[in-house]
Every structure is written in structure tokens, then in C-alpha cells.
Amino acid sequence: MGRLKTIARRSFLIGSAAIAGGVVFGTYLYKREGTNPLLADLRAGETAITPYVKIDAQGITLITPRADVGQGAWSMQAHLIAEELDIDPATATLSSGPASAIYYNGVVGVEAMPIAATSDTLLAQTGRGAADVMGKLMGLHITGGSTTVPDLYDRLRMAGAVARETLIRAAMQQTGLPRDQLKTENGFVVLPDGLKIEYLDLAVLAADIEPIQDVTLREPSQWRYLTKPQKRTDVIAKSTGTQTYGIDMVMDGMVHATTRTNPALGGGLAGFDAEDARKMRGVQAVLQITGGIAVVADNTWRAFQAAQAVTCDWGPSPYIGNTSDQFAAVAASFREDHQDSQFKDDGDVVAALEGAELVEAEYRIPYLAHAPLEPMSVVVKMTDARLDIWTGTQIPRFVQANMAKLTGMDADNIHVHVLMSGGSFGRRLEDDYIAQAVEIAMQLPDTPIKMVWQREEDFTHDFPRPLAIARAKGAVRDGAVDTFDLAIAAPSVAESSLARLGQPAIGPDVAIVAGAWDQPFDIPNYRVTGYRTPAMVPVSSWRSVGASGNGFMHESFMDEMCHAAGVDPLAERLRLCWHEPSRKVLEAVGEMSDWGSELGANRGRGLAFTLAFGVPVAEVIEVTNTEDGIRIDKVFVAAEVGRVLDPVNFEAQVQGGVIFGLGHAMNCELTYEDGVAQQDNFHVYEGMRLYQTPEITVRGLENGDKLRGIGEPGVPPAAPALANAIFAATGKRIRELPLSKSVDFV
């Protein structure tokens, strides 16, 4: 209990004095409690016992501050609170809550540090502590990096427990009964005679009670929801068309807008002619915004039509504009003065490679678009006093800060209402679309404006996953992988995206080598070097970030090395793997796939393993080389997350991650000509379709000592497992994505 109490004091006390003893200002500030942001807006009869639970006579509202982008974060957060509050989460209302520093993410910063998830050294622990301090000091109210569960597992259960205990205290005051005669049951305090007092009826009394901090969390054996198959809180709404996404907000007097900015990224607008557009039916205004134009109309389609009718004089893109030149720039950055990191350097790679028979390979991965199915969209309303923003976003506080800068308004007067997102995959870590709508609102105050991008605008104004090249050299000795030297060059996501958030990117960018430098293998001579390509078109985080491509590089080369050594890829990885939970994952996938058994003619099996976001994931893919091309038959996945809190959503997230990884590996790339993305809709960026979807068998393992998130880790091993399977089936080694450049798929 010691640790949990500490957490409680650090994060949940409300209205109590600061903890004494802080002598360093930063530490003091860190330890001082934040103000419960819900208290500012409470109406009569409402109480907010913690920043996560609000109760009034009408019902209970659970605050789920991590954005739901499809990964089920709202439902999981609600279940974590409900488990300890002792209510059925289906009976509660969920709210994203306001943008607030108190909803800081204490884990997300770790991914930016060169700390292997498998490391538990003092330095690693200190680094993780620093990420927590940084998250709190900066008030990083942010969703990403598969952190929702690891970050909030304790915090939300504590919030539920504190609220429950405070309600019991209220019942003690009301009944005069001692604590040990009261218990709770599904939203009620139960008296010894069986009489029940509903939580709602205790809300007013509880509001005057100092929240009870001394609580004990339930033992896992007592859990009603966690680790059991949960019913997602949004599943009915999402199956009946009643879920309100950002694009669905409807307000009285609302107008519809769309924007068109220079498709040659960063090229700006030299001038425009909107004479024809302004005459079109329903068009209310054609406005200039940064880099382009906006059309305001009485219907989205009319706005789309009019936007196309505006003649724009675009400037040229300042970036290296053609993909062949972009790859050339990456290839040119394997130079000492561009070296960004070398977090892994075991043994003596240089000596080992000298005179050895070299295995050499070069791998390439393309830019990729996020393309969530809900195009970027937002509703804004600006008055003299306040700016309201309704949208799906992962970064409400950055939105607040950036829009304060844009409008000159006080951040406190900017209200970000986070709605359900129709996907994101990292796209909603950016607020460019919101800024555009706010620019419209500044020219059209007092009117609710819904801005929706055309799909083509969405594709051509993405901040893609960066392209990359890896150069690998290796040597085998006595039938074993002995030397593994991987150099990866790519533009920096941290440098690009943090600048847009107004934050500095200090030191090496771990993402350039994530999923490669931190793999749990004891190869005698093992080196991973990152090279930073100078910034080109702006790039950003894409589901599983650096590991999304580095998994392909590392695991394709591992397969090549095993082949060169004449060893079985699974047996060799098991021999090299020093991390027990990772070994178990490899063993599990071997057993699940009946690894080593005969598959028959024209068939092949590929294995890949990536440890990303602290989650070791192994995938085996079976393919058939048919006359019409490659068919993906089966996928087996084993993933280690410490504890599977919801087996249903766990399986869905892993399957979704695999399909996301496979679909993009098969046929997706974003290429540029003169700074213009050439893929502008799904007909040229297809991903996977149902008829191509293999059977995907998933097993969650629980051998690790830490809880991990599963939104992203399923992605990285999918592409290399597929490429390795194609090699096994055809003898053809493909070193460039998308694979459709080299083979057909059925």
C-alpha cells in the first residue's frame, strides 16, 4: 500500500495543503497539488470528489481525459474508475473533461528517452521519474504512445476508490453508523439492515467532506470488470449511428466551411480569384487564411464545390519536392556529422566485420499518411469573451495554448471539448485543422462554424510517417548470428512535431532507431546507429512511430542473417534473447503456429519480433504463392502486456494493429512531386480490404511486471513477418515497402 498512498497524495488530494518539505522549487511545484478543474464549473447540487468523478442528483459523470481514437480509451478509463467506485460504467455519463494540467500524462515522455523498456537500472528508473515530473510540470494533457493504461491504471482506480470512500463517509454522517457497518454495491451504500442509499443522494453531503485519501484498492481477485471481457461503453452508439464525432456536431445557426491550402506543402498563397465561387449557391464568404482559402457556405458540399471553383495562385514548396530526391537526401545522410545516436554498441562490430564474409542489405520504407476515416473536422465558435472548440484531438492543452497565441485570447477563455475521433493513428496530435477553423472564426465571430476537409485535402496535408533507409552489415560465425550492424537514416519526427507544439527537441531523436536499438538480443557484436536527415516535408507520429518502420528493417535483416547462418529464425532468436518475457512471447508464437511443421508447396511462413512501447510482440505469418499473387492465409500473434485488462478489446487492438501494419506494407506509400502528395484518396492508398484479411489468432501473455498499452505494438512486426514469409514461399527477398512494388497480392 505504501506506493499507492504516495500516488494518492501526489495526484489526488484536493483542497488540502501542499505537502511540506519541498525545498527545491521544481520539486515543490511538482509535489504541490493541482486544482481540481471540475470545481470551477460546478452547479448547485453537484460535487466533484476527484478530478475524475462528478456526481449530482441526475447521475454520475466519469471524466476520461485520454482521447478515444478507436482504441477504446474512454471505455477502459471508465472501467478503471468504476471498478473502484463500485458502479456499472454503463450507467455513468462519460466526459472528456476540460483541458487541464491535472490530466497530465506521466509516461509519454519516456518514449523520448533512450531508456530500453527492458532496463530497470537506477538510471532507467530515474529517467522514468523525470518523465513523470516533466509531464506534470508541463501539464502534458496528451494521448499517445500507448500510454493510457500504463499511465492511468493506478490513478483512475485511486480516483474511484477515493470517491467511493468519501461517499461512505457521507453515509456515515447521514446515518450515524460506523465505517465497518457500511459497504457499497453497484452505486449504493448499503446499511447493515439491507437498506440502500444511492450515491446520487449523498452527493450534496459529500461535497463538504474532505476527500478520504486513506483507501485500499481491491485485490484483482475481487474485480468485477477488469480482466473480464468488458462491454465497450460506446459499442451501442457506434452500431446505431448515434455516436457524435467531431464531424457530427450540430449547432443552431451553424455554417459549413472547408479550406483549401497549397498542396505544394509550405508554398503559401500568392493570390486568389474567388469571383465565380462567391456567386455559387449557398456561398456566404470566401476568406483568406494562412496558406490558402476558406469557403463558408450553408452546406458542406456547396463549400466543397465553391472551394474547387476558387482559382489560387500557389507559391512553390520550399521543401525537397520529389520523392526520388527525398530518398537521395536520406541516402546522403549516412555521414558522421549527421549521426544522431548510437544507443546500442555491444562487442566490437568494426573488428568483427573486418575480413569477415559480409551479409549486406539496404532497406527502404516510404512516407505514409494517417488517413483516419473521419476527415479532419472541427466546430468552433468565437465571441469576444470566449472561444469554444469541439473536435477529436489528442492534445487539448496544446490546442488551447496554440489558439491563445493565434487569437491573442487568454488560454483560460479557450474551451476545448474533446469528442469521439473517427480514427487518428497519430493525426490528431496535430492542430493545423483547428487553427484553420479558428482563422475563419476570427473573421466571422459569433457564428458556430463547422469546418470539414475534403478527403483530398486530408491526404495532401498530412504530416506523414517519415521515409527511411537502413543499411545493414552482418557476419555469421559457426552457424550463428555473430555480428549485426544496422544504420538507419531518417528525418526526425521529434524535431518536426515538437516545433509545432512550441516545444524544443533536445538531444537525439529516439524515434529514428526505436524498435531497433532496444531489442532484447545478446548478439556478440551488435550496433544500431541513427542518422538524422535534415528536415524535409513536415512529419509526425504514426501508429507505433519509429518502430513502425524500424521493425521492418531490423527483423528483415535478422531473417537474412539467420538464413545466412543456416539456422532456424525462431530457434536463433530464442538462443539470442536474454529477456524472459520476450522469450515466452517467441515460444508462444512458435507453439501457436506449429512452427517448423510442413506447410506444403508454394507456401511459406515468416517470423518477426519487435519490442515497442515496452511490449514484446512476435508474429508468424503464413502465405501462399498463388498464380495470381501472394495470399496471406494466417497470422499468429503473441504479445506481453503484464496484464490483459479486457481480453475482447485486447484482441481487437492486436488484430487491428496487424491489419494496419499489413495493409500499409502491402500497398501504401505517399510520394511527392514538387512538394505535392500524389496519393489523394483511398483508390490510390487502399490498405487492406476484408477479402484479403487473414485469420488472426491472438494470445496475450502476462509475465511482465509492468502494465502496458496495446494500441500500437501489434503494428511493427507485421510488415517484416509478411516479407519474411514471402521469402520463405518464393525465395524472393523484398527490401522495400510497399511490397506491391515487387509482388502482387490476391
Asked if residue 690 binds another protein (CB under 8 A), the reply is yes
User: Binding to another protein by residue 663, rule CB under 8 A?
Assistant: yes
Q: Which of 21, 194, 241, 253 binds another protein (CB under 8 A)?
A: 241
Could you give the CA distance from residue 480 to residue 562 in angstroms, rounded to a whole number? 7
Q: Does 530 bind another protein (CB under 8 A)?
A: no
**Choices 68-76, 184-192, 271-279, 612-620 (CB under 8 A): range interacting with another protein:** 68-76
Using rule CB under 8 A, residue 240 touches another protein: yes
Q: Which stretch binds another protein (CB under 8 A): 32-40, 116-124, 679-687, 727-735?
A: 679-687
Secondary structure of residue 442 in the 3-state scheme: helix
Cell of 519: 531489442
Minimum distance from residue 258 beta carbon to another protein (Å): 11
In Å, what is the CA distance from 268 to each residue of 55, 88, 313, 316, 370? 50, 52, 9, 8, 23
User: DSSP class of residue 745?
Assistant: B
631 binds another protein, rule: CB under 8 A? no
Site for another protein in 326-385 (CB under 8 A): 371-375
Instruction: Note whether 691 binds another protein by CB under 8 A.
Output: yes
Minimum Å gap between C-beta 306 and another protein is 12
The stretch near another protein (CB under 8 A) out of 37-45, 93-101, 147-155, 677-685 is 677-685
Q: Judged by CB under 8 A, which stretch of 16-24, 199-207, 416-424, 596-604 contacts another protein? A: 416-424
Q: Is 10 in the site for another protein (CB under 8 A)?
A: no
Range in contact with another protein (rule: CB under 8 A) among 69-77, 90-98, 124-132, 560-568: 69-77
Measured CA to CA, the distance from residue 556 to residue 267 in angstroms comes to 38
CB of 298 to another protein, least distance (A): 8
Cα–Cα nearest to 466, from 542, 363, 530, 371: 542
Binding segment for another protein (CB under 8 A), chosen from 25-33, 44-52, 346-354, 423-431, is 423-431
Binding status of residue 687 toward another protein by CB under 8 A: yes
Prior bond of 717 cis (ω within 30°) = no
Q: Which residue spans within 324-412 are E strands per DSSP? A: 339-346, 359-365, 377-382, 387-391
Give the max Cα distance, the chain. Answer: 85
By CB under 8 A, tell whether 170 contacts another protein: no
Closest distance of CB 701 from another protein, Å: 20
Give Rg (Cα) of the chain. 27
**Does residue number 506 form part of the binding site for another protein (CB under 8 A)?**
no
| DSSP per-residue string spanning 486-518 | EEEEEE-HHHHHHHHTT----S--GGGTTTTTT
> In the complex, what is the shortest distance from the CB of residue 698 to another protein, in angstroms, rounded to a whole number?
10
In the chain, DSSP finds a helix count (H) and a strand count (E) of 20, 27
Is 455 a binder of another protein (CB under 8 A)? yes
135 binds another protein (CB under 8 A): no
The dihedrals phi and psi of 284, each to the nearest 5 degrees, come to -105, -30
Q: How far apart are CA 254 and CA 522, in angstroms?
A: 61
Query: Taking a C-beta distance cutoff of 8 angstroms, is the pair 495, 535 a contact?
Result: yes
Nearest to 647 by CA among 136, 21, 79: 79
Q: How far apart are CA 658 and CA 716, in angstroms?
A: 8
| Nearer to another protein among residue 380 and residue 490 (C-beta) | 380
Nearer to another protein, 591 or 695 (CB): 695
Per the CB < 8 A criterion, the answer to whether 376 and 437 are in contact is: no
* 540 lines the binding site for another protein (CB under 8 A): no
Q: Supply the minimum distance, in Å, between the C-beta of residue 90 and another protein.
A: 12
Interatomic CA distance for residues 521 and 116, integer angstroms: 12
What are the helix (H) ranges across 176-229?
199-207
User: What residue ranges bind another protein (CB under 8 A)?
Assistant: 68-72, 231-232, 234-245, 247-248, 250, 256, 281, 298-302, 304, 371-375, 420-425, 452, 454-455, 648-649, 652-653, 655-660, 663, 681-683, 686-691, 693, 695-696
